Amino acid sequence: MLNKKYDFIVVGAGIVGTATAYKLQLKHPNKSVAILEKEAKVGLHQTGRNSGVMHSGIYYTPDSYKAKNCKNGREQLVEFAKKYSIKYDICGKVIVATKQEDLSILEEIYAKGLENKTEGIQFLSTDEIKEKEPFIEAIKAIWVPTAGIIDYVAVSNKFVELVESINPESKLLTNCKVVNVSSKENVTELETSLGNFTAEKVIFCTGLQSDRTAEKDNLKLDMHIVGFRGDYFELTDEASHKINNLVYPVPDPKYPFLGVHFTRMIHGGVECGPNAVFTFKREGYKRTSFSFRDTFEALTFGGTWKLFFKNWRKGIDEYKRAFSKRLFVNALKHMMPSITPNDVQPSRAGVRAQAIDYDGNMVDDFKIMKQNGNIHVLNAPSPAATACMAIADEIVDVAIN
C-alpha cells in the first residue's frame, strides 16, 4: 500500500482534472502533483463519451462563467493541439432554424454571439445552407466558423504526460478511489483504495461523483448531481456523405441541452444525437443500467421531482425516443427530411452530470466552491471540455490564493 505526501492532489483524471494538474505543474514546476483516478484509464466517463466538439461560445449568456471561459479555453486548446500534434479540425458549425417559430431564438443566439465576440458568425439563407450542407432543409441558419472537433481523451493523456515529464515526482495513479476525506491544520488526508495520501491543497474534479466527494469534505451543498444519459446513433458508411461538418438545431431555451444534432467525428464517421433522459445509474451507459444507490439518492431529492413535474411532457418525449429508433430518426428529419432508419445504426452513450437545485432548476453555469482550502468543481457541464484550460487557470488562481 502507498502512503505519500504531495504538494497538490487532483482527484479525477477527466479533461478538467488533467488540465488543472497541468496548469498547476506549469506554474509550480518544483512542486509535486498527484492525479488520483478511480478507473483504470484516463477519461472513461464524460470526457471520453461526449461529442468531441470544440464549442465557439455563441450560445452562452454574456458575462457568465461559461461565456468568459469558452472562447479563451477554445483558443488555448487549439494552440495546445497544434503544439503537441493532437488531431483536431476547425470545421465550423451550422445552427439551423427549420420553422418560423425558431427564428426569434436564432436571432437571440446571434445577438449573444455578437456580445460574446464569437468570431466570423453570419446568417445563412436557404441557398447558402445548401452550399454547406446539401441534405439539410432549413429556412435560416447561423454559420459558426470557429467551432471544431478534437479527441479529448488524447488531450487528457497529453496533459498527464506533460505533468510527469515536468516533475518526475508527479504521478497519475489509476484504480485509486477516494474513500474518505479528512481536512485539518492546512493538510488534507485522503483515504483511498491504494492507501493514504496527504497534500496541502486538493482539487476535486470528479464529475458525476462531484457532490459525493464534496460531502466527504463536509461541504454543505445547495444542489445535487442527477445523471442524464444521452444515446447516440451514427450514420452508416453509405449515408455518411450526407453531413459535411457540424449541424445543430435551434435549441429549446428552457433546457441546457443543445438538441439532437449531427457531429462529424475526429476519427471518422458522423454521430447523431444525443437525447437526454434521466438515468437510473450515474455511470450507466445502457438503457437498462441500474444502481439502487444512484436511483434512491436521485429520487429522494426533492429537486428531482420538481424538475420532473415542470418538464414531464419533455421527459416523456425523450424517453419514448430513447427506446424507439423511428422516433429518434423523426427528430433528425426536422433537419434532414431525406434521412431514413436505414441510414443510422446504434452507437455509444454518455451520461451528463447535471447539478439540480432544491427548486428543481438545472444549474446552467459552472459551479466551483472552496472548502477547508480544497477546491470542488461541482458543476462543469458543456462547454467544460472546450473551456478546460481556462477553467484550470481559474482553479489554480483560487487554489493558490
The ranges assigned to domains in the chain are 2-47+153-222+364-400, 93-145, 224-357
Quote the pLDDT of residue 316: 82
Could you give the 3-state DSSP secondary structure of residue 25?
Answer: helix
| Position 351 confidence tier, pLDDT thresholds 50, 70, 90 | very high
Q: What value does the mean pLDDT of the chain take?
A: 94
Q: What angle do CA 310, 312, 318 make, to 5 degrees?
A: 130
Q: Is 382 helix (H, G, I), strand (E, B) or coil?
A: coil
pLDDT of 319 above 90: no
* Confidence at residue 259, expressed as pLDDT on a 0 to 100 scale: 77
Q: How many CA atoms lie within 13 A of 256 on its CB side?
A: 20
What is the distance between the alpha carbons of residues 362 and 303, in angstroms, rounded to a whole number? 9
**Residue 92 CB-density burial (10 A; 0-12 exposed, 13-18 middle, 19+ buried):** middle
Looking at CATH, the fold of the domain delimited by 2-47+153-222+364-400 is given as FAD/NAD(P)-binding domain (3.50.50)
Q: Is the pTM for the entire model greater than 0.85?
A: yes
**Residue 89 and residue 242 in contact, taking contact as beta carbons nearer than 8 Å:** no
- Binning pLDDT at 50, 70 and 90, where does residue 372 land? confident
So what's the pLDDT on residue 107? 97
In the block, cell 425523450 appears at 318
Give pLDDT, residue 186: 84
Pick the closest to residue 163 from 38, 1, 42, 3 (CA basis). 42
Q: Work out the angle at residue 270's Cα, subtended by the Cα atoms of residues 290 and 263, and round it to the nearest 5 degrees.
A: 80
Nearest CA among 228, 250, 245 for reference residue 59:
250
CATH of 224-357 among 3.30.70, 1.10.10, 3.30.1360, 3.30.9: 3.30.9
Cβ atoms of 155 and 190 within 8 Å: the answer is no
What element of type H or E holds 78? helix 65-83
Which whole number is the average pLDDT over 285-293?
A: 95
Tell me what the mean pLDDT of segment 391-398 comes to: 92
Of all residues in the chain, the percent with pLDDT exceeding 70 is 98
pLDDT of residue 251: 87
Per-residue pLDDT, averaged over 139-150, amounts to 98
170 neighbors 163 (Cβ within 8 angstroms): yes
Alpha-carbon distances, residue 107 vs 10, 69, 122, 185 (angstroms): 41, 23, 11, 53
Q: How far is CA 397 from the centre of its chain?
A: 22
pLDDT in tens, 353-368: 999 999 999 998 889 9
Please tell me the least confidently modeled range out of 115-129, 198-212, 245-259, 284-298.
Answer: 245-259
Determine which of 21-30, 134-143, 145-154, 270-279 has the lowest per-residue pLDDT on average: 270-279
Neighbouring CB atoms inside 10 A of 70's CB total: 27
Which pLDDT belongs to residue 54? 97
Tell me the C-alpha distance between 191 and 322, whole Å. 39
Report d(CA 23, CA 37) in Å as an integer: 18
pLDDT of residue 257: 63
With 0-12 / 13-18 / 19 or more C-beta atoms within 10 angstroms meaning exposed / middle / buried, residue 340 is exposed
C-alpha cell at 34: 498527484
Rounded distance, CA 343 to CA 331, Å? 14
Q: What's the pLDDT tens digit per position in 54-77?
A: 999 999 989 888 998 999 999 999
pLDDT for the residue 256: 57
**Contact 393/27 with Cβ under 8 angstroms?**
no
CA 241 and chain centroid, separation:
27
CA angle at residue 252 from 278 to 100, to 5 degrees? 145
| 70 contact partners, CB below 8 Å, separation of at least 6 | 55, 56, 57, 60, 116, 383, 386, 387, 390
Q: Which residues pair with 356 in a beta bridge?
A: 224, 362
**Helix crossing, 152-166 with 15-27: angle to 10°?**
30
